[in-house]
Amino acid sequence: MTKVLNKFPEMKKMKILNTVIFVFVITALFSTAFVVVLINYKLWNESHLLLSADGFMNYLKAYGDFKDLFVVTVAATAAYVGLQSLQETVQSNCERLKQERFNEWKVKMEIRLLDAEKGNPRLRLIFMELRTKFFDWLYEHDFRIGSKQDLALCFAIFSHLVQTLESQNNSAIKMGEIYPNEGYSYSYDGFRFMFLGGPNDTYPEIETDLNKFYLELLPSNRIIDQAAFNVARNNSFSNPV
């Protein structure tokens, strides 16, 4: 809930105001309680606390001397309760707006996934598992990846599953996980298509940096052999599955 509120400056101001009023109310309540105890103690010692008309008038008069404190305490408490109610309403509206945004975003990503998952059976499971975290990060950053540092933080959501995605790619399995060069990946294109479909705005070099981040996570001991790759590719053409 706090994450949602932090997107709106007005909500931050309301939160600060809520804290200030809360501290003021607590102070006023303690002050009022102290005054009530003090009044009753004073009246009791002076023998003015009597069950009579005069006793009742003395009691009211003693409280009347502190009427401003009581009025302020009641007003501050009412203001705090009202602000709490308003904040709950705002929080509810923020959550509703976020959910509506998520539903729209989810439909867009699902359409892209229909193409991206071809040959990448694990891709759907990964994005289904992590899409809420992915969306939350994008939502907090206004659906913008504006720098290499932003990309690193966002990509970290998926980084631990890159090797799994690569090893379970249909083409990688068919080709015996043989690579023609260090810059080759079987699963990167599908992942790139899905990942870059998430934000609405990115910086110019994002594809270059994303490719670098992705390749760095592939197994360092993978077989890189252009000749063996060509043989495996020719065999796959000769024996299509």
8 A C-beta contact, residue 238 and residue 232 = no
Q: What is the pTM of this model?
A: 0.69
Minimum mean pLDDT range among 70-79, 128-137, 138-147, 200-209 = 70-79
**pLDDT tens digit string along 64-123?**
777 777 788 888 888 888 878 877 887 788 889 999 999 999 999 999 998 888 878 889
Query: Sign of dihedral through CA atoms 163, 169, 173, 176?
Result: negative
CA distance 88 to 153: 31
Residue with tokens 């990309």: 151
What region, left, alpha or beta, does residue 21 occupy, with left being phi > 0 and alpha being psi -120 to 50 degrees?
alpha
Name the residue with higher pLDDT: 166 or 45: 166
**pLDDT tens digit string along 208-222?**
999 999 999 999 999
For 119, other C-beta atoms within 10 Å of its C-beta total 16
8 A C-beta contact, residue 1 and residue 52 = no
**pLDDT tens digit string along 11-70?**
666 677 778 888 888 888 888 888 878 777 776 666 555 555 565 566 667 677 777 777
CA distance 6 to 145: 18
CA distance 156 to 213: 10
